[in-house]
Structure 1
Amino acid sequence: MGLISFIESAGRLLSAGHESKPDAVQDESKPAPPPPEASSITEELIRLGLKLTGLNVTVDGKTAKVTGEAADAETRDKAILAAGNVAGIAAVDSNIKTADNAPEGSFYTVKKGDTLSAIAKSVYGKASLYPKIFEANRPMLKDADHIYPGQSLRIPPEA
């Protein structure tokens, strides 16, 4: 699939053997924490219910390498985002296969002041389509009003 870049200082803080801290988001202007252990990222993907057959996660420097097979492109893209939206990870090297070999989806990095409505207006031309972006990023997003600068979101096709 490829290498996808993320903002390493923004994201969820994870620690091995502990639940992720859902509201512990780094400010992208602060130094990034050290990369988490691969087992923490694996636990996060499992906690989010992202089912990948043969899931294997390794961390090399600030890059998470994720391999396995997903049932569909949506699950693959969500797994990439879940791994990349972890504080300390600057890139995800994805080799997640899907049965249909669909190309990776479109991603958007949240900027200061963004809302899902503003992103929907910019991407689709209609602010009212924000629920489409919200649903495409569940279970990582639990509330449409809780996005943060530096976070990457999956942008589904308009159709």
Structure 2
Amino acid sequence: MGLFSFIKNAGAKVFGIGTTDAEDAEAAAAEALKLEKAAAEKLKQTIVDLQLQIENLNIFIDEDIAIVTGLAYDQATKEKVVLVIGNSKGIAIVDDQMTVEHTEPEAQFHTVISGDTLGKIAKEFYDDAMKYPVIFEANKPMLTDPDKIYPGQLLRIPALN
């Protein structure tokens, strides 16, 4: 899939990556590396907790860029992993280097703007606001409520069968 851009300061905070108060450059670099490793581990644990099926998952964070590798069960799982990582505060780019075991068509993506609702997004992509549950289901388990989306969040918009 390649590179995905996200809004760096939107989303769930992952330990404070991308920020440091250290005055000494060497100490700051060591602290940043420590935070990046901790954030990567937290993201891996989140993906496990969400029960996304991916083998040999590896996440490497360098400043605001996350590189993710592994074998995803299917395309939807791969896209959800990218969204979990990218919709985390401090991540601006996800370099998706994962492979997929069971291929299917790639989804489209939509960045939520102020005033968006899942119904409004469904109307835009499917010409039917009542298809919002399709978008909600496609973004589970990251979304827990169809009314809880936020500006800057990137959502999967799957093709209708």
The answer, yes or no, to whether TM exceeds 0.5 is yes
The root-mean-square deviation of aligned C-alpha atoms, in Å, is 1.8
Q: 5+ residue gaps in structure 1? A: 17-31
- Which residue of 84, 97, 100 corresponds with 1:98? 100
Call closer, same or farther: CA 1:59–1:103 in 2, change over 3 Å.
farther
**Residues 106, 158 of structure 2: 8 Å contact kept:** no
TM-fit CA distance, 1:158: 1.8
TM-fit CA distance, 1:66: 0.6
CA distance in 2, matches of 1:33, 1:61: 6
TM-score (normalised: structure 1):
0.84
Larger radius of gyration: 2
CA distance in 2, matches of 1:7, 1:103: 25
The aligned amino acid for 1:148 is: Y
Select the structure that is richer in helix.
Answer: 2
SS for the counterpart of 1:71 is strand
CA distance in 2, matches of 1:64, 1:50: 18
- 1:2 match: 2
- 1:73 match: 75
Report how many residues are paired: 144
Q: Deviations over 1:30-68 (max 9, x none)?
A: xx9638521121122112111210000000120111100
- 2:157 match: 155
Moved over 4 A (4+): none
Counting only pairs closer than 5 Å after superposition, residues 52-91 of structure 1 correspond to structure 2 as: 52-91=54-93
- 2:12 match: 12
- 2:117 match: 115
SS for the counterpart of 2:77 is helix
Q: Deviations over 1:68-100 (max 9, x none)?
A: 001100100100101100000001001111124
TM-score (normalised: structure 2):
0.83
CA distance in 1, matches of 2:64, 2:104: 26
CA distance in 2, matches of 1:105, 1:129: 15
Call closer, same or farther: CA 1:144–1:33 in 2, change over 3 Å.
farther
CA distance in 2, matches of 1:14, 1:48: 16
Q: 5+ residue gaps in structure 2? A: 20-34
